[in-house]
Structure formats: structure tokens, C-alpha cells
Structure 1
Amino acid sequence: MKIERLSQDKIRIFLTFDDLLERGIQKEDMWREIPKVHELFSEMMEQAYSELGFDASGPLAVEVFALPAQGMVVIVTRGKTDSHHIGYPDTDDDHDDEVYEMEVTLEQSDTVMYAFRDFEDVISVSKKLLSSGISEDGRLYAYQGKYMLAFDPAGSEPSKYHAIIALLAEYGEAASVTTAVLEEYGKVVIAAGAVKEICNHFE
């Protein structure tokens, strides 16, 4: 479980599928109100408080994004109110009467996102993707000192989809950011056809 602060009132939590399996939670369970998911949320909020000093009292807006091949991203924003609340008991004994008031949004993303520390790796993986005929598509972003390649393999046959992930994993690491975060906080370097564009410029 990895937690980072996006702003004073917003944090992002990245859960790998291993994090979920360790707690006996399937990806589909995040869409259900069950005690295990409540416990996981309490654990996330305790860790956010101990690591970042993020106090989760009061109303919270929670966005859960399922990412293929990577895990889940949970974005928690403090201070938004809505008519739809789910009560999560506070585990702190000093605040027995408090609950987490949550407005939960669940989204499934098919975008495959990988991060690369070095632009040379982006060039290498692009050449491999193009020469093997797997893909000439993709979007390239710059974010927090890294390059991010994003693919939307909707409609691709599973073998092609897994081949893209296998090649990306050789050179980079699965990224715990969503496209929405990249477009808000990162910089779009190549908006479409990134693989082909990179190969054209770096023969």
C-alpha cells in the first residue's frame, strides 16, 4: 500500500492486487459494502494519518479506480458533502461517536499505464512495440520527473493486450496514477500515436 498527498485535502492510495489478496479481498469486492472493505478503508485512513498527518474526520469523497494489471487507486478528498453517505466506524477510541461520511465513486479503467525514469527506455520500448507490430498507438506524459506511456487497448485481443503489458514491464514499472491525474497535474508530451511518433523522431 502506497500513500501520497496530492494537496492539503486530497490523498492518493495505491493498492496492488497483492495488497487486496493478503486481506482476502477480490477486486470485485471493492464494489460491495462488506466488513473486509470497511476494515481496509479504516487501515488506509490510519496509515494516511500516521504517514502524512491526514485527518479523515468529517465528510470524505472517495474515488476508487480499478486499473488493469496494476491494482487499484483510491483518491480521498476531505470536505465534500453529498446526500449519499456510507458510515464507516472510526477506530479511534477517543472518537467513538464519529463515522467516516463517504461519497463513493467507483470507476473501472482499461488504460494500461507504465512509468519510465529514462527517456531512452521510452524509445527502446516504442521501437519494440512498433517492430513487433503490437502497437503504434499510445499517449506520452511527463509527470513528477518520469515519463508515462498510456494505452487504451479496448477491443484488442487478449494476446495483444498481454504482449503490450509484457513489453512495457520489461522497461518500466506499472504506474499508480490515473489518466485524470496525469491530465490535471502532468504534461501531455504526445497526445496520440506516441509509439509511432517516437520511432519517427528517434530512428
Structure 2
Amino acid sequence: MPRTARRDRYHHGDLRAALIDTAMELIAEQGAQGFSLAEASRRLGVAVSAPYRHFADRDELLVAVGVRTGELLVAAVTAERGGDAPEERLVAVVRGYVRFAARHRALFETLLNLITPEGEPELDRAMRPVKAAFHDAATALSGGDPAAAQALGMAVIATADGHAGLLHRGTFGTGEEAVETAVRQAAAATRALVAGRAALG
């Protein structure tokens, strides 16, 4: 979002949303490690005390960034075209997941770092449609068997995460060609898992 648009949101009273937009921009530029509320305030042109009217601390703003990123991931996954068959739906989810991870690396990594066993309710709600997209297709492919669906779903999620990680480490090269190579290989690995799902236990 352009800076003038963010400032317009602020001047129209939506400082919370403007801070999230600004935080996402900063994280996309430099990662989450060096991000601070003070830096977001300076970028937005507000007093360094202003964010504390909406966020208790940096971590709370990062959770809000994670929620927004999760919503963008949901949109990317659901926008990926696939057929009606469960296998095609599952492959489409994986393609959308890997493409999103490639094109929004810093935000994607921030999102993954925020997901913990303890859970964050807002983040869990934002990510629920992504989990459901994996789970629903896996359930259909497993004949409704919960254990088989869980095994297949987890294996496919690991495949998507693994290919995203390999892409980030440069295994597939660089640029758009590398992204499409990672997407193709993740899709092929997903099909192999579906074909051999009986061996997953």
C-alpha cells in the first residue's frame, strides 16, 4: 500500500490498520528481526507513543501482522486453480502455498515463527481456512478415515513447507523460473504422496 494511502487511513482514524500496513511493509523490506514499533511510527509519521493506543508491545503488533498475512495466504491458496477432484484440489493448495511463500518470503517466515504449540487465538482463526483446505481434500482422498486423512494431510503440509524452505535456500535457483520449478516439484511430490497414501499408515 502506498505511503500516502496509509497516511490517509491514519488521518481517517484507522491508525491500527495503518500500523499493520506499515509493519508489513517494513518486514517485507528487512525481515522481522530488526522491526520495532518506533520504526513503524517514524515511517508512518506519528508519535512513537501512538502505537501503544492499539498494541501493548511489538509482539502484539507482530501477531496482527501474522493474522493479516494468514488472510493473504488464504486468498492465495483459494485463488489457485484446480479441478474438482480431491487430488486436484490438494495439488492446487500446495501450488498456492509455495507461490505465496516465494513471493512474500519475509512475511511468510514471520507467520511461521508466530505459530506455536500454545497457539494464538486470532492467528489460529486466520489460518483455519488454510488448514481446512489441506484437511478437507485429504479427508476426501482417505474415504473419511480420520487417521488416514491426518497422516496424508500432515505429509502434504510437510511437502509444501519443505519445498518453500528449499526455494528460500536457493536450491531451485533464483527468479521466477526457480519459483515455478519449486511449484512443479511440490505438485509432483503431492501426487506421489496421494498415490502412495496407503503406506503413510
After TM superposition, is the score higher than 0.5? no
- More strand per residue: 1
